[in-house]
Amino acid sequence: MLKVLDGPVLAHRTTLRLGGRALAEVRAAGPRDLDELPGALARLGGEPRMLGCGSNILADDGELPVVVVALDSGGPFDAAPEVTGETEDGRVLVRVGAAQRLPRLVSRLSAWGLCGMEGLAGIPGAVGGAVAMNAGSYGCECGAALHAVSVFSPALGHVTLGRDRFRYGYRHFEVLDEAGAPLGGWYLVTAAIFALSRCDSAVVHAVMRGNYLKKKATQPVLSHSAGCVFRNPSPLNPAGKLLDAAGLKGYRIGDMAFSTMHANFMVNEGHGIAKDAFSLLQYAKVAVSERFGVDLELEVKVWSWR
């Protein structure tokens, strides 16, 4: 049976520590619970918003007309990585539940000597969220390694879809219908199957550790942040470089600031509020546009009534 929580405070559920109250939160422990989800959402009203570990989300202040949908840990949606077979070209298939933490998956793959996702070391969050935004770093991205994805939606029910039924790009992922068009309505990732190459475990571990140490030295991995807030306009002109050149590294409004380590990370330095976060982002967009003629686009997902 679905668990329904009334009025969860999103500041307690997001890594940026921002956000007012949602209408409700519904939590599913297993596939049968998801069958009840469309009816529950209709009764509760509001827009469904999928929540994993709370990264990559900027939630507004106040009362938000959204219903948070989450998968419980410790059950089938939290299934640990397991080898399920091989592809015709010899890559190893690994299935993992959407509620599993991405760092745990990357660590397990390293121990097994499987490569293709080691660049994701140091990225927080759950596997489902990483797939849904096509998380990527250091030349690796979830979509490139994804062999199949299990989803639930009102239109499809419980299905596992191969690569012909999803499409991905830079920080973008979408499920397709049978005609190849983007699936209408909401869906929820419940599991992922990745296809990975065999490599020397020590080499994979060394690359993974190097990537993590590089992140730790250049990004505020221990701060309250949502990750990168703006999409990179191009490889030669990443958002952080433009923001830094515009003098925004360390710039703050209230307790919200661009990190002094990496300008594309907005951090909550105490008791920040979403109003100041939105003001900070707008100030940065104007500053970069006026100086470089580049219109920055948000990468962080905004939950707002505005």
Nearest by Cα to 144 from 118, 105, 177: 118
Q: Encode pLDDT of 116-153 as tens digits.
A: 999 999 898 999 999 999 999 998 999 999 999 999 99
Cα 87 from Cα 71, distance rounded (Å):
29
User: What CATH number has the domain spanning 78-217?
Assistant: 3.30.465.10
* pLDDT at residue 1 in the model: 87
* pLDDT at residue 306 in the model: 63
Distances (CA, A) of 65 to 3, 85, 255, 302: 19, 43, 25, 13
Which of the four pLDDT bands, split at 50, 70 and 90, describes residue 302? very high
279 C-beta neighbours (distance < 10 Å), count: 14
With a CB cutoff of 8 Å and minimum separation 6, the contacts of 100 are: 78, 79, 80, 81, 126, 127
What beta strand segments (E) does 29-127 contain? 47-50, 57-59, 63-71, 82-86, 92-97, 114-115
Buried/exposed code over 206-240 (b: 16+ C-beta within 10 A; e: otherwise): ebbeebbeebeeebbbebbbbbbbbbbbeeeebbb
- pLDDT for residue 277 is more than 90: yes
- The set of catalytic residues is 171, 228, 299
Tokens of 282: 């707008």
Q: What architecture is the 3-71 domain classified under in CATH?
A: 2-Layer Sandwich (3.30)
Q: pLDDT above 70 covers what percent of the chain?
A: 99
> At residue 190, what are phi and psi to the nearest 5 degrees?
-110, -25
Q: Encode pLDDT of 219-270 as tens digits.
A: 999 999 999 999 999 999 999 999 999 999 999 999 999 999 999 999 999 9
Q: Any idea where the domains of the chain sit in the sequence?
A: 3-71, 78-217, 223-303
Q: Encode pLDDT of 152-162 as tens digits.
A: 999 999 999 99
Q: Encode pLDDT of 58-72 as tens digits.
A: 999 999 999 999 999
Q: Encode pLDDT of 33-49 as tens digits.
A: 999 999 999 999 989 99
User: What CATH number has the domain spanning 223-303?
Assistant: 3.90.78.10
Tokens of 188: 């929820």
Q: pLDDT above 90 covers what percent of the chain?
A: 95
User: Tell me, what DSSP letter sits at residue 125?
Assistant: S
Q: Record the pTM.
A: 0.93
- Average pLDDT rounded to a whole number, residues 81-88: 97
